[in-house]
């Protein structure tokens, strides 16, 4: 539970605040309280109270440890907007009627940071792998009735499958992820295709395709499905300057919009962590001619085109959900501290 801490601790945390120093701006229609309901997310609730949702930890007066390992919020809890002794906005939580006793049950019912259905396949399974990392895992060697592509309910015959796991995820070797700035290969993307269950062990084993987000066919790879980790993370801005680029838009398309998943060329080695909110920006350059007819290049100040919520990090690359966008987000657009 996010606790109501004492005035002394509040003052100490405020003194150590990592905010940019600008006063918090409440949303125009910020309520005096919000009752948490199933389907809520921390990002949505943040936007209910704040014009800048990534400043959520500040209005809670959260310290560093609480940002990285916050307590859970549940449906039925009431978030109340108050003022401290100096008149500054702050939030407190009133625990609702839901009071589960078993830790795993608590986590299952807790409010997530962003919609879990969008990012669930990407939380625990490979996104970035080394070259040829999927070459020797279980793979489809034949399809039902020699079909070229498989869909929901179709059967696939899979070589080298461990007979123990029942639930599996289907992947395809993806493209190399190149840094737009250095042209270095940051890794290879494992392209998620759907889910399958093993219905009969053997070599080949018989699998049924449960869900197919893309066409599944001969040569595609399978890995046991691990349950997604239950991560409590809070939307917050980095306390350092980030200046990176968009590497790819997941799904093999060229442009992203709200709800898309993209990768960036900054990772844990650069200080990026789960829950970071980054501004997506575009720099514009206009080519003109001056009065003498000479070519001139005019740099237009960067314009914000969206916000990115980081939910998965690797050493040199991270994945995030585009939570706000104005127009499209393209490869090579900038990611910066908001």
How many Å apart are CA 54 and CA 237, to the nearest integer?
6
Q: Kindly tell me the number of DSSP H helices and DSSP E strands found in the chain.
A: 6, 20
Distances in Å between the Cα of 307 and the Cα atoms of 183, 254, 258, 303, 329 are 25, 18, 9, 12, 10
On whether both 17 and 112 belong to a single domain, the answer is yes
Are the C-beta atoms of 264 and 318 separated by less than 8 Å? yes
231 lies in some domain: no
16-49 pLDDT per residue, tens: 333 445 788 999 999 999 999 998 999 999 999 9
The pair of three-digit structure tokens given for residue 23, joined into one six-digit string? 């006063």
Domain count, the chain: 3
On whether both 283 and 190 belong to a single domain, the answer is no
> E-strand spans in 179-219?
185-200, 205-212, 216-217
State residue 285's pLDDT score.
Answer: 63
Domain extent at residue 67: 7-116
230 lies in some domain: no
The pair of three-digit structure tokens given for residue 163, joined into one six-digit string? 């007979």
- Quick one: pLDDT band at residue 230, thresholds 50, 70, 90? low
- Report the CATH number that the domain containing residue 308 is assigned in CATH: 2.40.10
Number of neighbouring beta carbons within 10 Å of residue 104: 9
Are the C-beta atoms of 277 and 216 separated by less than 8 Å? no
- Quick one: pLDDT band at residue 1, thresholds 50, 70, 90? very low
State residue 102's pLDDT score.
Answer: 44
The residue-averaged pLDDT of 222-231 equals 81
On whether both 44 and 75 belong to a single domain, the answer is yes
Choose between 213 and 267: higher pLDDT: 267
Number of neighbouring beta carbons within 10 Å of residue 175: 10
Give the mean pLDDT of the chain. 85
Last residue of a domain, which of 116, 137, 156? 116
- Which residue, among 3, 180, 15, has the nearest Cα to 86 in the 3D structure? 15
Choose between 121 and 117: higher pLDDT: 117
Sign of the C-alpha dihedral computed for residues 55, 58, 63 and 67 taken in this order: negative
Backbone angles phi, psi at 233, to 5 degrees: -135, 150
94 lies in some domain: yes
On whether both 19 and 109 belong to a single domain, the answer is yes
Q: Is the pLDDT of residue 165 over 60?
A: yes
The pair of three-digit structure tokens given for residue 265, joined into one six-digit string? 């060329």
On whether both 101 and 166 belong to a single domain, the answer is no
On whether both 204 and 285 belong to a single domain, the answer is no
- Quick one: pLDDT band at residue 63, thresholds 50, 70, 90? confident
- Which residue, among 128, 12, 115, has the nearest Cα to 61 in the 3D structure? 12
2 lies in some domain: no
- Which residue, among 317, 320, 273, has the nearest Cα to 129 in the 3D structure? 317
On whether both 134 and 111 belong to a single domain, the answer is no
The residue-averaged pLDDT of 131-151 equals 90
- Which residue, among 168, 220, 190, 194, has the nearest Cα to 317 in the 3D structure? 190
Q: What is the DSSP letter of 271?
A: T
Torsion of CA 320, 323, 325, 328, to 10 degrees: 40
- Quick one: pLDDT band at residue 101, thresholds 50, 70, 90? very low
The residue-averaged pLDDT of 57-78 equals 88
Q: Is the pLDDT of residue 208 over 60?
A: yes
On whether both 191 and 157 belong to a single domain, the answer is yes
Q: Is the pLDDT of residue 325 over 90?
A: yes
Out of 102-111, 194-203, 303-312, which region has the weakest mean confidence (pLDDT)? 102-111
Are the C-beta atoms of 195 and 168 separated by less than 8 Å? yes
């Amino acid at each position: 539970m996010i606790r109501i801490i004492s005035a002394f601790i509040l003052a100490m945390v405020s003194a150590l605040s990592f905010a940019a120093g600008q006063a918090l701006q409440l949303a125009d229609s910020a309520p005096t309280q919000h009752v948490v309901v199933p389907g809520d997310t921390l990002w949505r609730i943040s936007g209910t109270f704040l014009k800048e949702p990534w400043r959520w930890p500040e209005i809670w007066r959260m310290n560093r440890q609480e940002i990285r390992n916050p307590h859970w919020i549940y449906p039925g809890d009431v978030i109340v907007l108050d003022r401290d002794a100096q008149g500054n906005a702050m939030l407190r939580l009133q625990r609702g009627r839901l009071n589960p006793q078993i830790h795993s049950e608590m986590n299952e019912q807790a409010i997530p940071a962003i919609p879990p259905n969008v990012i669930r396949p990407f939380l625990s399974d490979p996104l970035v792998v080394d070259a040829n990392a999927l070459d020797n895992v279980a793979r489809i060697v034949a399809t039902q009735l020699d079909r070229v592509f498989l869909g929901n309910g179709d059967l696939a015959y899979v070589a080298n499958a461990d007979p123990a796991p029942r639930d599996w995820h289907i992947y395809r070797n993806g493209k190399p992820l190149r840094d737009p700035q250095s042209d270095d290969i940051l890794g290879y993307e494992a392209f998620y295709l759907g889910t399958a269950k093993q219905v009969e062990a053997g070599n080949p084993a018989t699998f049924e395709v449960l869900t197919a987000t893309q066409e599944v066919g001969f040569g595609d790879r399978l890995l046991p499905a691990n349950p997604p980790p239950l991560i409590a993370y809070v939307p917050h801005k980095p306390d350092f300057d980030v200046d990176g680029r968009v590497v790819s838009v997941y799904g093999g398309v060229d442009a992203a919009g709200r709800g898309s998943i993209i990768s960036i060329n900054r990772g844990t080695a650069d200080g990026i962590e789960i829950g970071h909110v980054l501004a997506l920006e575009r720099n514009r350059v206009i080519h003109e001619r001056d009065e003498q007819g000479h070519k001139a290049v005019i740099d237009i100040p960067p314009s914000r085109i969206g916000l990115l919520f980081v939910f998965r990090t690797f050493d040199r690359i991270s994945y995030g959900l585009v939570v706000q966008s104005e127009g499209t987000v393209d490869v090579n657009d900038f990611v910066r501290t908001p």
